[in-house]
Amino acid sequence: MRVTSGVIVAPAPEIVSTRHVERVALGAFPTPLERAPRLEEALGGADVWIKREDLSGLALGGNKVRQLETLMAQALAAGADTIVTTAAAQSNFCRTTAGAAAKLGLHCVLLLRGVPGLPLDGNLLLDRLLGAEIEFIDTKDPYDPAVPQQLQGIMDRLRAKGRRPYLAHVVGTAGAVGAAAYLPMAEELIAQWTARAISPAALYVTAGSGLTLAGLALGLKWLGWRTRVVGICAQMPASFLHPLVVQRANEASALLGLGTAIAAEDFELDDRQIGPGYGMATAEAVEAIELSAQTESLILDPVYTGKCMAGLIAHVRAGRWRSEGPLVFLHSGGTPTLFAYGSDRLDQARAGRQA
Ligand SMILES: *Cc1c(COP(=O)(O)O)cnc(C)c1O
């Protein structure tokens, strides 16, 4: 079965209805697929292609743009005039949400984990420039019960002012919609591989919540593609995340009526690049960032894509991929966080100290 719904041509804010989930056109799709010859040479021969999802356009792009096309369609359908969401202070999702809201003429309120005195850099600077109203919550824990309480307070306050707020918080089963939003990326990749007559051995994807991984694993299997989907964990241990990704992929499959079942062995997860923790730069990630920049002018970040590239490099150096066909690396964006780290934190990480 081959569908061609991966490309959105309608201008925002028209709602694009496809065979899949409803979307508002916000990004620049299809994103490019590029070969990385100098990186290949540095890695000693493995063919490497880069899917440039970092070039998806909206407010400096990244993988969250596809998810937001879906969330914003739901918000508009619900008649919302204000988008509310929450995450860490340097969240790419929050920055892209603020961008989507600005582009659609909606108000945006962000509840960010952190304290009001944080330096206005990286994504936080962009949140401000994009016009989002920012509130802080003094916790590091995304599961802190104070988070939903404060979100509820924001929703109540907005409603009391006569606004129609929409909570764009992709947790629990709402994650199925998030995973489904990545299915068109699988279709887009297959169209690009077919056009270039390549049959990749593996697709490397950073796994945060695992929704991108779930959507891609589902899409590739549904379309009968055997490319190995390799998730490199940036946040949660593989033992915890693996069953969640299976569950989200199967929920997305049911939501879209695909009739494809995802099993644990349909993808793999490697959590050896997390280092001291989520958002902490590692020596391996800094090496991957520098190598990608200096060979391909490819700018990665220390939270997600640097760790994913470090995982790919470690697998190549261990001799895992020799003659099976090219490797595809998903550049999922996140570049703005680089500017919130600064060179001293990267230097510390390179020297093996906690950063
Ligand atoms: C959010 C994010 C990811 C992780 O995507 P999930 O779908 O949550 O796994 C990877 N890379 C970047 C740059 C991100 O912002």
Hey, where are the domains in the chain?
Answer: 15-63+176-350, 64-173
Say yes or no: do domains 15-63+176-350 and 64-173 share a fold: yes
Output the pTM of the full model: 0.93
Distance CA 347, CA 289 (A): 12
Tens of pLDDT along 315-351? 999 999 977 779 999 999 999 999 998 888 888 998 8
Average pLDDT estimate for 128-146: 94
pLDDT confidence of 173, banded at 50, 70, 90?
Answer: low
Average pLDDT estimate for 25-41: 97
Q: Which fold has domain 64-173?
A: Rossmann fold (3.40.50)
Average pLDDT estimate for 303-322: 95
pLDDT for res 118: 85
H or E stretch covering 186 = helix 183-195
Q: Which of 17, 56, 91, 332 is catalytic?
A: 91
Residue 160 CA to ligand 1 centre (angstroms)? 34
Residue 207 CA to ligand 1 centre (angstroms)? 6
Mean pLDDT for all residues in the chain = 91
Q: Is 199 noted as a catalytic residue in this protein? A: no
Is 333 close to ligand 1, i.e. is its CB under 6 Å away? Answer: yes
The CATH code that applies to domain 15-63+176-350 is: 3.40.50.1100
Is residue 13 scored above 60 in pLDDT?
no
**What percent of the chain has a predicted confidence (pLDDT) above 90?**
81
Residue 233 CA to ligand 1 centre (angstroms)? 10
Scanning the structure block, which residue is given the tokens 């062995």? 265
pLDDT for res 14: 52
Is residue 107 scored above 50 in pLDDT?
yes
| Backbone φ and ψ of 134, nearest 5° | -115, 130
pLDDT confidence of 6, banded at 50, 70, 90?
Answer: very low
Encoding tokens for residue 2?
């081959």
Partners of 330 in the β-ladder: 51
Q: How many CA atoms lie within 13 A of 264 on its CB side?
A: 6
Residue 130 to residues 16, 84, 95, 107, Cα–Cα distance (Å): 24, 14, 8, 10
Q: How would you classify the pairing of strands 33-35 and 48-52?
A: antiparallel
Is residue 172 scored above 90 in pLDDT?
no
Is 273 close to ligand 1, i.e. is its CB under 6 Å away? Answer: no
